[in-house]
Amino acid sequence: MEAFLASNGHRRGECREGAIVRLPLDGCADFIKILQSEGRCPATLALLRGSAFFSDYTFLIEGLLEDNLQFIRERLDDATCGIVGVDVPQGIVADSTADALMGSIVASAIVSAFMMPLLDPRNGTPFTIYTASQDNEAALQKAGVKFYAPTEKLGFHTDGMLKNSAVYVPRYIGLYNIVIAYNKPGCFYWVPFADWPQFDEWAGVLGWNRTYRFAATPIVYAGALDHVEKAAARIIEAPVFWRDADEHQRAVFMNGDLLGPVDDDGDFDSSLIQRMKRSIACDARRIVLPQRQRRLFLMNNTAGFHARDLFDAPIPGARYTRSFLRSVASEGPQISA
């Protein structure tokens, strides 16, 4: 199996190249054949249910990754890295529609080697499927639902998770692109906390463990019109910069719109967050990986920020503009009760 470094069009002073692992086609095909022979290959992704779906296939998954299993773990846990791309090959089966399904199954199996994913609350899968089309984007905008379209540029942020009223920062995140129907998909960016020179300075400005209010807006695509009320922004309270009592763990929660500190004394400068985001974008050294179909991004969400370019030049006639799987680790620090 081959690991290589992705190229990019940015100046080397701004970016460094991210590591990408290519899975072998024959290994992926053999893995799917074994699932099929044992009646464990679902006909749709909605039938891939339960966080332990692949628990009986750990040895096979590790064999599929070969030496790259340790390589990926080391990269994820390296404070100066924290991200790896994994490419799932085309041609696992002959039919293109079935092949897209098989690629997603392989990607979900790879994710299971690095995290115990949270289950999607609606269908019990170890991932959530997001699908965008020009029609449902227009309908959501008309309904007044704020969301992040594929053509909207996302600033650097981290992902969080809610369990009742408690806020957590999941240790790992997995994003797998099933479909990107754009001729210019751009790049995916990662900034390790360790490569942001102003990390400690901004933690001092905003305060360690100081609680802020956020209007957290979920990413919503297909099916969201059936849940407009649920998709409305939810106010949550969490620190931006968090560390535990022993200062052995730290994390950053930066997702949604920051409204201000809970203990607001009227002197909070609302422009601070935009200035901090500009510092991340301009002063930090980024890792860059081109966005591609059938590429899985594995990230240590407690060690860095992520962002992506605009998707540009949509492919004419495509039914869906983007479809991807998002897996979130059930393990991670609780930063707010």
DSSP string, 153-212: PEEEE---EEETTEEE--SEEEEEEEEE-EEE--EEEEEEGGG-TTHHHHHHHH-BT-EE
Mean pLDDT of 303-332: 92
182-231: per-residue pLDDT in tens?
999 999 999 999 999 999 999 999 999 999 999 876 554 334 334 444 44
Quick one: which of 145, 172, 147 has its CA closest to 158? 172
- Between CA 325 and CA 176 the distance in angstroms is 5
What value does the CA radius of gyration of the chain take, rounded to a whole number of Å?
Answer: 20
Asked if 310 and 152 touch (Cβ cutoff 8 Å), the reply is yes
State pLDDT tens for residues 36-57. 999 999 999 999 999 999 999 9
**Structure-block tokens of residue 314:** 């949509």
Residue the block writes with tokens 């909207």:
152
- The residue-averaged pLDDT of 174-187 equals 95
Compute the mean pLDDT over every residue in the chain, rounded to the nearest whole number. 87
- 147, pLDDT greater than 70: no
| 33: pLDDT strictly greater than 90 | yes
Decide if 254 contacts 158 (C-beta within 8 A): yes
Report, as an integer, the average pLDDT of 314-330. 92
Beta bridge partners of 287: 16, 190
pTM beyond cutoff 0.85: yes
CA 246 to chain CA mean position, Å: 28
Please report, for residues 91, 220, 228, 264, 307, the alpha-carbon distance to residue 145 in angstroms, rounded to integers and kept in the order given.
Answer: 38, 9, 7, 28, 22
